[in-house]
Structure 1
Amino acid sequence: MRIAMIGAGYVGLVSGACFAEFGVDVAVVDVDPDKIEGLKAGRMPIYEPGLDNLVAENVRDGRLTFTTDLVAAVKGADAVFLAVGTPTRRGDGHADLSYVYAAAEQVARAAEGPLVLVTKSTVPVGTGREVQAIVRRARPDAPISVASNPEFLREGNAIGDFMRPDRVVIGVDDDHATTVLKRLYRPLYLIETPVLAVSLESAELIKYAANAFLAVKITFINEIADLCEKVGADVHDVARGMGLDGRIGRKFLHPGPGYGGSCFPKDTLALARTAQDAGSPIRLVETTIAVNDARKVQMAERILAALGPDPKGRRVGVLGVTFKPETDDMRDAPSLVILPALVAAGVDVRAYDPQPGHARQALPAAVDFAGTALAAAEGADAVVVLTEWNEFRALSPDRLKAAMKGDVVLDLRNVWDPAAMRAAGITYSSIGRP
């Protein structure tokens, strides 16, 4: 089979490489010539564990190519996936679908034979029907089926999620689209992956509903952590007791400084706006958004309070600034709220992250970047953990204390053992623990 993937961003590049690993011939298309030339040379535009090797192997074997020529990529393709950006639209919180619609029209005009046009990007309910209308206007007689195939890829584990998914969701209207998509995902049948064929509207809503539910779960445990601090309970014991209930599950019950990333903030906001427009508001999601936004501000206030009545001129070492470990993604990371607040208060901020590429541009110029975790802690009055990279867990409390000027550590991800930190002479505080 042969497919084209429109968009060489996170979703398009990972999905294209993984389909190629399935044995499919994949052409990845992007309008950015520098990105395409970089990919041809083996340079990844994002950090994702294992992606560079997966891309290199499939390029070498001739199954994966990169191009700026959409027309050539579409010719002869059995399916074309739209994996372009759907950022939050300024002013109203809706997803900006202009890139999706423009790409759909381009594909329709370039199509020469039967084709399945698949929306891979996360899009609100109704997008598939509008894509159908665009295709009909552009090519009223072309045999083009429109389908939806939302992605469920976690940054830092995207390849594993694609190769061993919990489920594959396809939104389809006709037998041809169903047949093509099931053939593409046929390798997953060997591991008995459920393939859920539903309507376009259901497929679009499944992705938003799933992400919103996980965001609610994260926000819930964060508020439970706050309560634990007030009453002397341990949030990890509470989360474990909750997670052992099969109806709840243990995942996404880890307290922290608030969720961020490319999906949860954007998708919860888009779902809330869609529901409001439909006359069926989802108050739980609206509250989740507000509570999560407030939490990042509260974390900044907690750090400033730990520095004493006059934080100006104090030094803080920050460990981790990406929104989660094993990615260089800075989109809606808690650090984008917390670090500017510290800088505005006159705090001297020195940060370290194993993947700082995008962080240097996203954070205030006043934030200094260190080359190691201990270098970030050197001379610091306080050290703050914002992202739970594994290398921080292995950091010796004694070496950390020796590097610091002060003794305050605020562990906003609960990566360290409180007893070991206190034994090293550190004034230690974490989230939701006595």
Structure 2
Amino acid sequence: MRIAMIGTGYVGLVSGVCFSDFGHDVVCVDKDPNKITRLENGEVPIYEPGLDDLMNKNVEAGRLRFTGSLEKALDGADAVFIAVGTPTRRGDGHADLSYVMAAAEEIARLASDYIVVVTKSTVPVGTNRKVRETIAAANPDLDFDVASNPEFLREGAAIDDFMRPDRVVVGVESERAGTVMSEVYRPLFLRDFPIVTTDLESAEMIKYAANAFLAAKITFVNEIAALCERVGADVKEVSKGIGLDGRIGNKFLHAGPGYGGSCFPKDTRALARTGQEFGVPMQITEAVIKVNDETKRRMVEKLVDLCDGSFNGKTVAVLGVTFKPNTDDMRDAPSLTVVPAMVGGGAKVRVVDPQGKREGEHLLPGVTWCEDPYEAAEQADLIVVLTEWNQFRALDLGRLKDTMRTPRMADLRNIYTAKDAEQAGFLAYDSVGRVPMSSSGS
């Protein structure tokens, strides 16, 4: 089949590359000429493990191309996917659908033969109906269908998620559109991966409900972690104990500094706003948003305590600033709350992150970027683990301790233990949801 993919951001590029690896003829479209040039030169503008090799493989095979012209991409296309950004609008929590609607209008203007217009972007319930209305109004003679096909890609594991998904969700209104979408996902259908075919509104709701539920699990365990610290329990043991219950499951039960990234913050806000609009308040989701913000601020309080009540004059080494490992994404990352609080409090902050510098340089002004943790920790008063990159999991804690002025650690991802820190000679160690090794300054 021939597929046009509008947008070469995270979702669009990963989807386009993977569809081409299915054997489809894919043309990815983007209005940014610099991005198209980079892609044509084999450069991937985002960090996703394995994506560069897979992209170049399919380009060489002739199944994948890039262009700035939607007209060229639509020529002979069976389906066109809209994979543009839907950021939260400032002030009201709505998802900004301007890019989606602009794409729909352009499709209406340029398409001539029957085509299925597929919304891949995460959009509120009712958006696909609006896409249909927009296209029909702009080109009443166009023969087309709309489909909703939300993505469920985890950054850092997106290719595997696309190729071996838990499920594929497709919302359609006609048998004809359903047939096209079945052909698009034929390789997965043949391997018995679940394909959930439903109506447009249900497909849209599935995406929001899934992300809100996962965000709720993260927030729940972080709230339990706060209580564990007060009562002397270990949240890692608690998470293991409840996660073994098949009705609960062990995924997304890892305590930390709060969720971030491109999906959970945006989607929980959008779902809460949708509930308000339709008179059905999403009270649990609204509480999740509130508690997640409080969790990030609670991390700052931990660090202040470890710095004897003030950041002023302290040197702090921060390990990791992306919202999670194996990505360069810093959207709504806990670091965007924690690091500015330290800088604003008068701390000298040094940062190490394998992929975060490109985004972090303008998002985190006033910090010094270092190449490795030992350099960052030299004469530091505190080391903070904010992102659990693999290279931070097996550090020589004794070497770190020896290079620090005041060896104290805030392990906000629980990758070490109080025993590890004590044996290495640290004066203080604190984590999330566990009793600290000792009070700061002891």
TM-score w.r.t. structure 2 length?
0.97
1:223 equivalent in structure 2: 223
Q: Counterpart amino acid of 1:89?
A: R
* Contact kept? 2:357, 2:369, Cα under 8 Å: no
Shift of 1:418: 2.5
- Give the letter aligned to residue 430 of structure 1: S
Instruction: Kindly report the root-mean-square deviation, in angstroms, between the aligned alpha carbons of the 2 structures.
Output: 0.9
Once the 2 structures are TM-superposed, how far is the Cα of residue 88 of structure 1 from its aligned partner?
0.4
For 1:247, what is the secondary structure of its paired residue?
Answer: coil
Counterpart for residue 432 of structure 1: 433
Q: Which amino acid aligns with 2:432?
A: I
Which residue identity lines up with residue 333 of structure 2 in the other structure?
Answer: A
Counterparts of 1:6 and 1:276 in 2: how far apart (Å)? 31
1:325 aligns to what SS in structure 2? coil
SS class of match (2:357): coil
Q: Which residue of 2 aligns with 1:372?
A: 372
Which runs of 5 or more structure 2 residues have no equivalent in the other structure? 436-442
Secondary structure of 1:358's aligned partner: helix
Corresponding position of 2:440:
none
CA contact (8 A) 2:330 2:360 kept: no
Percent identity, please: 60
Paired with 1:402 and 1:344, the residues of 2 have a C-alpha distance of 28
1:247 partner amino acid: R
- Alignment map for 1:166-315 (pairs within 5 Å): 166-315=166-315
* Contact 1:76-1:112 at 8 Å conserved across structures: no
364-373 or 340-349, larger mean C-alpha shift? 364-373
The alpha-carbon deviation at position 356 of structure 1 amounts to 2.4
Distance 1:343 1:362 in 2: 14
1:343 is displaced (CA, Å) by: 0.6
- Map of 1:79 onto structure 2: 79
2:2 corresponds to 1:13? no
CA distance in 2, matches of 1:122, 1:358: 25
- TM-score, normalised to structure 1, is 0.99
3-state secondary structure, aligned to 1:246: coil
- Say if 1:336 and 1:362, in contact at 8 Å, map to a contact too: no
Give the counterpart letter for 1:318 in structure 2.
V
Matches within 5 A, 1:29-428: 29-426=29-426, 427-428=428-429
**Given residue 410 of structure 2, which amino acid in structure 1 is its aligned partner?**
L
Give secondary structure in 2 for the equivalent of 1:225: helix
Q: Secondary structure at the match of 1:66?
A: strand
How much does 1:382 deviate? 0.4
For the Cα contact (< 8 Å) 1:380–1:406, is it kept in 2?
Answer: yes
Contact 2:310 2:345 in 1 (8 A): no
Tell me by how many angstroms 1:429 deviates: 1.1
Q: Which moved more, 1:418-427 or 1:116-125?
A: 418-427
**Corresponding residue SS for 1:116:** strand
Structure 1 stretches of 5 or more lacking a match? none
> Structure 2: how far apart are the matches of 1:59 and 1:311?
51
Q: CA offsets, 1:138-161, max 9 Å, x none? A: 111211100000000000000000
The range that moved more, 100-109 or 185-194, is 185-194
Per-residue Cα deviation, 1:169-209 (whole angstroms, up to 9, x for no partner): 00100011100111111111233111011110000010000
Contact 1:260 1:332 in 2 (8 A): yes
Q: Runs in 1 of length 4+ with deviation above 4 angstroms?
A: none
Return the offset for 1:134: 0.6
CA drift of 1:104 comes to 0.7
Q: Is the 8 A contact 1:329 1:358 kept in 2?
A: no
AA in 2 matched with 1:431: V
Name the CA distance, whole Å, in 2 between partners of 1:357 and 1:22. Answer: 34
SS in 2 for 1:5: strand
Contact 2:321 2:360 in 1 (8 A): no
* Matched position secondary structure for 1:204: helix
Displacement of 1:43 in angstroms is: 1.2
CA distance in 2, matches of 1:255, 1:108: 47
- Displacement of 1:39 after TM fit? 0.6
